[in-house]
Amino acid sequence: MNVHLEPWSGSALSLLRRINTPRMRHYVGGPEPEEKLLTRHARYLAMPETGRGCMFAVLLGDEMVGSIGYHRRDWQGEQIYETGWNVLPPYQGRGISAAAGTVLIATVREAARRPGSPRHLHAFPSVENAPSNALCKRLGFTLLGACDFEYPVDSGSLIRSNDWRLDLAGSATEPGPRLGPSMTGRRTTADR
């Protein structure tokens, strides 16, 4: 399997619309209206300039099949990196999320080497989202427990989530796909 991460671009808006369905957004409050979707897209495009994170399209070959990203945020008085992902239904269950997650973790570990960067990566899947919770475990995250997590940020909407944490100074507990070149605005690959 040849999985690539490409930095978010204007063409990824069509992917964002394909993700914005009741099935795909079931655990995060449902689909967003077009205005909010366009705001989200603009935020994803601007993320690299802020130095606080990056959003990526997940490609299988040349086809956009999902999204994954990370960004800095304050969590319980600590600066952390947070990650989240989506893979379109026809591509779920094939290891694409695990391949993309492995590449993303390597990317975030590079970012964490900069002075003042967070030392932990967190994921907050809904307690009901069994596939995403299983992926966190597979990628080497440690379950800290359940929590009430606000999503989207500043929305006032709380989701009962699991708080998974990965120490960015450590190494993954399970071997993943081979990693391509570091993220420098170009395509990164995980071959499996």
Which pLDDT score is estimated for 170? 67
Q: How far apart are CA 122 and CA 75, in angstroms?
A: 9
Q: Which residue from 91, 108, 134, 86 is spatially nearest to 2, judged by alpha carbons?
A: 91
Rg (C-alpha) for the chain, rounded Å, is 15
Which pLDDT score is estimated for 141? 98
Fold (topology level) of 2-191: Aminopeptidase (3.40.630)
Average pLDDT, the chain: 88
| Domain limits, the chain | 2-191
**Is 31 within 8 Å of 25 (Cβ atoms)?**
yes
Q: Which residue, chain included where needed, has tokens 């070149």?
A: 181
Sheet containing 53-60: give its strands across. 142-150, 158-167, 120-123, 78-87, 63-75, 53-60, 2-7, 188-191, 178-179
Which pLDDT score is estimated for 187? 40
Whole-model pTM: value is 0.86
Helix (H, G, I), strand (E, B) or coil at 101: helix
Taking 50 as the pLDDT cut, the residues of the chain under it are 172-192
pLDDT in tens, 49-105: 998 899 999 999 999 999 999 999 999 999 999 999 999 999 999 999 999 999 999
